[in-house]
Structure 1
Amino acid sequence: MLKTYQGACHCGAVRFQVSAEIDQMRICDCSICRMRGALTFRVPGHAMRFMTPLEELTAYRWGSMTGADYFCPRCGILPFRRPSDPTPEERAAGAVPFEGWAINLRCLAGVGLENLPVRQITGRLL
């Protein structure tokens, strides 16, 4: 069932809403995700509503520069990210680009993380 969740960073400077049916959490094993510890869920672009303009956040880009991690400039929390486009090798293996957002479930009010199944994502370079 589709539900609208309120999201925020730790200090509350970054606020957003997500409409989604959250049925899993993703844990990626790439170097940045391992260090960050975010538990994510992907939503299409139209499911996000930004109460704080993206221009007020700090963006970190890496690798191909096609994705971005958005951080609160005050408290440093990452509430959401724009996933990178698949590499040519990943596309050849069947991966398709994702035009949406990966939400840090730890930043959403009312999500029972203890009840969600985990989907392991292989993001590390082989």
Structure 2
Amino acid sequence: MLKGSCHCGGTKFEVAEAPKMVIRCTCSICSKRGALWAYYEVKSFKLLTSPENVASYRWHTKTISHNFCPVCGCGTFTETPDWSTGEANFDNPQIAINARLFDDFNLDAVPVEVIDGKNQW
């Protein structure tokens, strides 16, 4: 298990395995957050804290729930449809975790793929 948390520890989570790669999206919200996203199937993600301790932000199409800690403000995880084909696949929901929040994990050892979200969305 790989665990992670926000800065204050108010939002904690775990996944079964470390990511093999992460995504750096250039869209406006991801750029401003500075997140590197590790994508998982919903069943692979476990929120270890109460959902009431998670705030969310939905913008534009309201399709994606950008979650964050309401205490320290860290962008933690995102609930999203699968976008691997360029279209929203709601039959295959995913969790994107801000990989910068993983505990005891060498993020520098993982390849980073850049997605041109600034011009795609």
Compute the TM-score of the two structures, normalised by the length of structure 2. Answer: 0.86
Cα distance between partner residues in 1 of 2:65 and 2:34 = 16
Look up the match of 2:45.
48
RMSD: 1.8
How big is the shift at 1:84? 5.4
Look up the match of 1:80.
77
How big is the shift at 1:21? 4.0
For the Cα contact (< 8 Å) 1:19–1:48, is it kept in 2?
yes
Look up the match of 1:101.
95
> Percent identity among equivalent residues?
33
Greater C-alpha Rg: 1
Look up the match of 2:117.
123
Residue 6 (structure 1) aligned with residue 3 (structure 2): yes
- What SS class does the counterpart of residue 16 from structure 1 fall into? strand
Compute the TM-score of the two structures, normalised by the length of structure 1. Answer: 0.83
Deviation readout 1:64-84 (Å, 9 max, x if unpaired): 111111111110001111125
How big is the shift at 1:96? 3.7
Cα distance between partner residues in 2 of 1:47 and 1:125 = 30
Equivalent position amino acid for 2:32 in 1: M
Q: Which runs of 5+ in 1 are unaligned?
A: none
How big is the shift at 1:22? 1.2
Q: Which runs of 5+ in 2 are unaligned?
A: none
- 1:71 pairs, out of 68, 71, 93, with 68
Equivalent position amino acid for 1:68 in 2: S
For the Cα contact (< 8 Å) 1:83–1:101, is it kept in 2?
yes
- Cα distance change of structure 1 residues 85 and 118 upon mapping to structure 2, 3 Å threshold: closer
